[in-house]
Amino acid sequence: MITVYDQEYFQGRRMEFTASCQNIMECGMENIRSLKVECGAWVGYEHSSFCGQQFVLEKGDYPRFEAYSGSNSYRIERMISFRPICYFFFLSFAQNHKDSRMIIFEMENMMGRQFEMCDDYPSLQAMGWFNNEVGSMQIQSGAFVCYQYPGYRGHQYIMECDCRGGEYKCYREFGSHAQTPQIQSIRRIQH
């Protein structure tokens, strides 16, 4: 469940959601200025219908927009749509994000050098990846969030085994806002 408010610090009008919302304005709310994730993991989007910049929302309190917006390199002012990451709703309590597995590839279409990941990597280069880009990826299990810069900064791309058959064949499939294949940190999304 996710609870959204139209004012900062959990003030003002309040709405609860247990499923995705394609356009918060159609629910009569102008903007979301704070929110609480009570359970599950969610993805927020800049535009309606799950378009534009995306950002992961895990359990916790987000008292101001700056707490949940994705990146400070590209200014976004709103969160208009959001959806749960469904994978986590099918997990038993015994399982968790530790079961996430993916492969990153040097080139598009799962070609070139590859590396299998099942942990969190705040710096791909520190783990031995040879440059600051990822050409394509295959999510075998679970869900990950990939970031443009080291240390989980910059644009976010949420990758799920349940979307596109888990295959992201080139950077244009990473997200509608992706302009380069630059990815320098990757982590599992927490259940």
Closer by beta carbon to a second copy, 72 or else 141: 72
The footprint of a second copy on residues 56-75 (CB under 8 A) is 56-62, 64, 66-69, 71-73
The residues in 120-139 that bind a second copy, with binding defined as CB under 8 A, are: 120-127, 132
Binding mask 72-111 for a second copy (x = CB under 8 A): xx--------------------------------------
The answer to the question of residue 189 lying near a second copy (CB under 8 A) is yes
Query: What is the smallest separation between the CB atom of 60 and a second copy, expressed in angstroms?
Result: 4
- Give the residue, chosen from 151, 164, 172, 179, that forms a contact with a second copy under the rule CB under 8 A: 151
Rounded Cα–Cα distance for residues 130 and 77 (Å): 35
d(CA 85, CA 95): 15
Q: Is 148 in contact with 183 (CB distance < 8 Å)?
A: yes
Question: Phi/psi zone of residue 151: left (φ > 0), alpha (ψ -120 to 50 degrees), beta?
Answer: left
* CB nearer a second copy, residue 137 or residue 191: 191
What DSSP letter does each residue of 80-144 carry, written as one string? -EEEE-GGGGGS-TT--GGG-EEEEEEEGGGEEEEEEE-S-BS-HHHHT--SSB--EEEEEESEE
Say how far apart CA 43 and CA 50 lie, in whole Å. 9
Residue 43 binding a second copy, by CB under 8 A: no
149 lies in the binding site for a second copy (CB under 8 A)? yes
DSSP designation for 182: B
Token pair for 1: 């469940």
* Residue 170 host element (H or E): none
Stretch that binds a second copy, among 18-26, 101-109, 171-179, 180-188 (CB under 8 A): 180-188
**5 interacts with a second copy by CB under 8 A:** no
Using CB under 8 A, list all residues that contact a second copy: 37, 55-62, 64, 66-69, 71-73, 120-127, 132, 145, 148-154, 184-185, 187, 189-191
